[in-house]
A and B are shown apart, each in its own frame.
Chain A
Amino acid sequence: MAARLPGVKAVASVRDLTRAFGERVVLDALDLEIGSGEFIALLGRSGSGKSTLLRALAGLDREVSGELSVTDSVAVAFQEPRLVPWKRVLANITLGLDGPAERAHAALAEVGLTERAQAWPLTLSGGEAQRASLARALVREPDLLLLDEPFSALDALTRITIHQLVVELWTRHRPAVLLVTHDVDEALLLADRVLVLDEGRIAHDSPVTAPRPRHRDNPELITLRADLLTALGVAPEGRS
């Protein structure tokens, strides 16, 4: 397990987390600490329990056992944007929020959706909807932002833009981020720390120190990429 910087407060701490669906154990005595302001990417094959872990951290799964201590200030952006279709974009952002509307307008401006504030969610493009979903999460100024493969349904160009946006927003607001993804390159481009979930536990945990903005041809990333692919049980290209 990568050493957490001393003195950094943990926003989430998980010990012995276990979750089984019938006979199938998805999370098996998993331990994890998420430090304040850390950007973590969680990789894993499909069915490895990535989303199960995220849902446990989000408080959406009450059937888990083990110790789970998570900050109260959590926000989630899901794979599908999950905007409430009968509320206009702005009303989606302010849903459940007591504060003044200025904050919501500021959040929309940050994700570049000011002009769509009064649009119905079903009229948004995939990228716009995902940005609105990010704004809805960020306007709550969370200590922990959980992202459940929010970029996987976007086209490649939109994804690049949103990657940049996420790093920008993270740099400005510094929430801890747990990004669940199946895309090794995405994990390496965005995160400070990359985890691989396998057989219900954290099987691999490595820091990423390359400065941002990162490029795929950075030597550190190339080495890490090979390690991660091996950890995921995929033979890296050219080494088979």
Chain B
Amino acid sequence: MSVIELEAPADARARSRPRPSRTSGKAWQRWLSPVAVIVIWQVASSTGLLPPRLLAAPATLAATAADLVQSGVLPTAVGVSLQRVLLGFAAGAAAGILLALVAGLSRPGENAVDPLMQMLRALPFFGLIPLFILWFGIGETPKVLLVALAVSFPLYLNTFAGIRGVDGKLAEVAHTLKLGRAALIRHIVLPGALPQTLVGLRQSLGVAWLALIVAEQVNATAGLGYMINDAREFLRTDVIVVGLLVYSALGLLTDALVRLLERRALSWRRGFLG
């Protein structure tokens, strides 16, 4: 009891401390911990704590990465993988947002779309790979479709929730300002749903890379996943790790893009003004 009472003020102090501003060029702080991990890893490799047959040292990885870039293997692989993610993301985002609009903007639309989406959401979509291979073969289509499927659900759920979460009082204002339905949707509903949609965007980009990695393990003849699988055949842990790092770098990059987008699109929110 007394412990709780003693801790409470400390907690209150912590909460009242001003939040670090995200707008004042401190984004580099987000890179501190990844760098620290790399340093520890290099030390472990150099001291022999981490044998190279399990995991190559960062310095080796850097050399391998340079080789892969110079030989053109890595750029080609990244290009192929990026294309898959972008295509799948575009298709999945379009479908997810469109369905959310249909469900969010009308009751019949909700009744038609939402039960189906909730059921499909429960499907383990990585489990669909065998079916996708049967339906679409082993080319690009099943890979892009898997990414699209994975992307569509977070965007659907968040956009739908965002639309339904728009303040009814603002809809009343729109009515008293004699805004028509189209203007109501354009000026009130869609901008009101945007913060939640952006949350969905970040989730869906994360899951897009995940879906791509899984899809590329299956019968890929090009791309990062292919490069990694190929390296496994030759016990090249350095190439495998370079591939994984490229995956995560691309993930971080897309996340940073969404953060940038958020900061611009949501500048009306007081929290972002600092």
A residues adjacent to B (C-beta < 8 A)? 58-60, 74-76, 78, 80, 82, 84-88, 95-97, 120-123, 136, 140
Does B28 interact with chain A (Cβ within 8 Å)? no
SS class, residues of chain A in contact with chain B? loop
Do B173 and A82 touch (CB < 8 A)?
Answer: yes
Known: A74-B176, A78-B173, A86-B194. 5 other contacts (CB 8 A): A60-B176, A84-B187, A96-B177, A120-B268, A136-B177
Do B269 and A95 touch (CB < 8 A)?
Answer: no
List residues of chain B with CB within 8 A of the CB of A59: 175-176
B residues adjacent to A (C-beta < 8 A)? 169-170, 172-179, 183, 187-188, 191-192, 194, 267-270, 273
User: What's the A-B contact tally at a CB cutoff of 8 Å?
Assistant: 55
Q: Which of chain B's residues has its CB closest to A88's CB?
A: B268
Q: Which of chain A's residues has its CB closest to B179's CB?
A: A96
List residues of chain A with CB within 8 A of the CB of B188: 84
10 contacts between A and B (CB under 8 A): A60-B175, A82-B173, A85-B269, A86-B194, A88-B268, A95-B179, A96-B177, A120-B267, A122-B268, A122-B270
List residues of chain A with CB within 8 A of the CB of B191: 84, 86-87
What distance in Å separates the Cβ of B186 from its nearest Cβ neighbour in chain A?
11
Do B176 and A58 touch (CB < 8 A)?
Answer: yes
Do A95 and B268 touch (CB < 8 A)?
Answer: no
Closest 6 CB pairs of A and B: A96-B177, A76-B176, A122-B270, A86-B191, A86-B268, A120-B268
List residues of chain A with CB within 8 A of the CB of B187: 84, 87, 95
List residues of chain B with CB within 8 A of the CB of A60: 172, 175-176
Do B177 and A95 touch (CB < 8 A)?
Answer: yes
List residues of chain A with CB within 8 A of the CB of B176: 58-60, 74-76
List residues of chain A with CB within 8 A of the CB of B172: 60, 78, 82
List residues of chain B with CB within 8 A of the CB of A58: 176
What distance in Å separates the Cβ of B90 from its nearest Cβ neighbour in chain A?
25
List residues of chain B with CB within 8 A of the CB of A75: 176
